[in-house]
Amino acid sequence: MRKPVQVTIYVDDGCWAGVAILIKELLVIAGTLYSRSFDLDKAELFRISLQGPTAGAVRSFTGTMITPDSAIRASGPVPDVVVIPPYYFSSVQPAPLRAAFRRWLIRAYDNGAILLGFDSGVRMLAESGLLNGHEVTGNLSDQKVFAGHYPQIRFSPHVPLVIDGRIVSATGTAPSMEACAYLVGQFYGEAAAHKFTRYTNPAPEPAAERAGLGNAAWKNHADHRVRQAQEFIERHFNQDISVEDAARRAAMSLRNFSRRFQRAAGMSALNYILHCRVEHAKKLLELRGGPVLQVALECGFNNEASFRRAFHLVCGQTPMQYRKSVVRK
């Protein structure tokens, strides 16, 4: 069996102890499911260590004392995954970040580690500077913090789970389980991730309803990484995005991504982008008049001709024919 994946969960004063322990136990459960054994040593997929600023006990947000397994060591080996649980912050000022931990975190990321932040714990990652240019989710109440102090970060608190390369963020209990499923799939394959997901059974987030798009039928599948790509497309379809962008967001090669997307959604990723754009265009055509070109540009098309072709391909009629049929009703 391969060497277990090394996971560090960073605990410090003010952390949410329950979430730190939940993530640890979820990753342990993934091993027992994978090996079909309750022998925790033999079933170990992830070697999880609670690490703190020192080896001394830290006080959680509710007063629970947690004793780390060890202290962060600036020159020690770096883990494969760094997990930041939620923390309690009483103000909208930047989250305090110990200098030694910042250096260690940057070193871990530079050496290939996946960074996984939960809820308000994402604020600690933001303070490291590693999130600049990335998209993350987090607590809705932290919008002012990110807008005021971290303008280079795309903060999307309405999205439950965001995977942006090796930066992973989640908000809420079910998305936290999805994030763990992502780790299982990343290191041990989708069959192991699917087994884990079936056991934890997180309810799929109705992103299609949030976006006002009729795509729910195409998301009735168990491939969480494809769903992540679908949510990325649903949030950015009106921009100049490509299939390559979606594959990169799902952390997959273009070939593997295209194959899995087709199998899970029943259509290609390119057609999914077109469907999202056309569904949005239908809403605009129903709600207002005005030039068709304006609708095309608002939906992510570069010109009216490409919009007309895509609209006819999806709807079997031109945009103007669709608008007239809606008006007659």
pLDDT band at 283 (very low <50, low <70, confident <90, very high): confident
**Rounded average pLDDT over 53-64:** 94
Can you give the pTM of this predicted structure? Answer: 0.70
Domain range for 149 is 5-200
Domain stop point among 172, 200, 228:
200
Question: Do 225 and 297 sit in the same domain of this protein?
Answer: yes
DSSP state of 79: P
DSSP string, 196-250: HHHHH-PPPP-HHHHHT-S-GGGG-SS-HHHHHHHHHHHHHTTSS--HHHHHHHT
Question: Do 179 and 293 sit in the same domain of this protein?
Answer: no
Question: Do 32 and 147 sit in the same domain of this protein?
Answer: yes
**Rounded average pLDDT over 250-273:** 91
Does 198 score more than 90 pLDDT? no
At 215, is the secondary structure helix, strand, or coil? coil
Phi, psi dihedrals of residue 300, rounded to the nearest 5°: 100, 5
At 302, is the secondary structure helix, strand, or coil? coil
Note the pLDDT of residue 193.
81
Question: Do 289 and 167 sit in the same domain of this protein?
Answer: no
Question: Do 91 and 119 sit in the same domain of this protein?
Answer: yes
Does 191 score more than 70 pLDDT? yes
Note the pLDDT of residue 145.
94
Note the pLDDT of residue 328.
59
At 72, is the secondary structure helix, strand, or coil? coil
CB 129 within 8 Å of CB 153: no
Does 77 score more than 70 pLDDT? yes
pLDDT band at 1 (very low <50, low <70, confident <90, very high): low
Instruction: Share the mean pLDDT of the chain.
Output: 87
Q: For 295-318, how does the pLDDT look when each residue is reduced to its tens digit (9 = 90+)?
A: 999 899 999 999 999 999 989 999
pLDDT band at 267 (very low <50, low <70, confident <90, very high): very high
